[in-house]
Amino acid sequence: MADAIIPNFGDDEETDRKFVLICSKGNLDMAYPGLVLANAALGEGIETHLFFTFWGFDMITKSRMWDLQFSPVGNTAMHLPGRDTKMPQSLSPMPGMTQMATKMMKKQIADLGIPEVPDFLDQIVAAGGHLWACRMSADMNQLTESDLRDDVDGIINASDFIEMTDGAQILFI
């Protein structure tokens, strides 16, 4: 009779693994990779930070965070959901196309039980994730802390970022 195997969740050992994601895109489709990976890292007990810069700033700006969009313009990989049919590039800049594509993508995401961007960030913060905003982006957009989600840890500059990410694994999205 064998002894029970006890899974090694690896959380007895102190780990200094630190994961930092730079979110630089404000398109709906490019917001998700960072959110999914941050959430997964937190679920593995890893210290996780998200740094929002340039267009990625929209993800944490209160007035914009619910309205990220997905546009088929310039995306040659764009095809109709679940099919191999490609959409002709000439159609993608037509009026209403971005709204339609956004609506369709939001539905696909919701159908998988995956939250909208602001709700997803709520979950990430609840799981212990940290949100940081880029100083230069804030200045360019003339935004202050009051324009951002209340749970943003702070607006930091490039040197602060370099200091903060000492020894971290960094992913630029």
Partner 1 sequence: MPTATIAGHEVQINDEGFLTEYDEWSEDIAEELAKNIGVEMTPRHWEVIKWLREDYKEKGETATTRRVQTVGGFPTKEQFQLFPKKPAKKMAYIAGVPKPHGCV
Chain residues binding partner 1 by CB under 8 A are 1-7, 9, 11, 36, 39-40, 43-45, 112-115, 120, 123, 126-128
Distances in Å between the alpha carbon of 142 and those of 22, 137, 138? 20, 8, 6
- Is residue 143 classed as helix, strand or coil in its secondary structure? coil
Instruction: Of 52, 33, 25, give the one whose Cα is nearest residue 153.
Output: 52
**Closest to partner 1 by CB, 35 or 134:** 35
CB 87, min distance to partner 1, A: 26
CB 1, min distance to partner 1, A: 6
User: Distance between CA 91 and CA 172 in Å, rounded?
Assistant: 31
**Residues 132 and 152 sit within 8 Å (Cβ to Cβ):** yes
**Closest to partner 1 by CB, 77 or 112:** 112
CB 40, min distance to partner 1, A: 7
**Closest to partner 1 by CB, 36 or 158:** 36
Report the 10 Å Cβ neighbour count for 92.
Answer: 17
Burial code (b: 16+ CB inside 10 Å, e: under 16) for 97-116 equals ebeebbeebbeebeeeeeeb
CB 11, min distance to partner 1, A: 4
CB 53, min distance to partner 1, A: 24
**Closest to partner 1 by CB, 73 or 126:** 126
Give one word for 57, left, alpha or beta, with left for phi > 0 and alpha for psi -120 to 50: alpha
- Residue 122 is encoded by which pair of tokens? 């709520």
**Closest to partner 1 by CB, 39 or 53:** 39
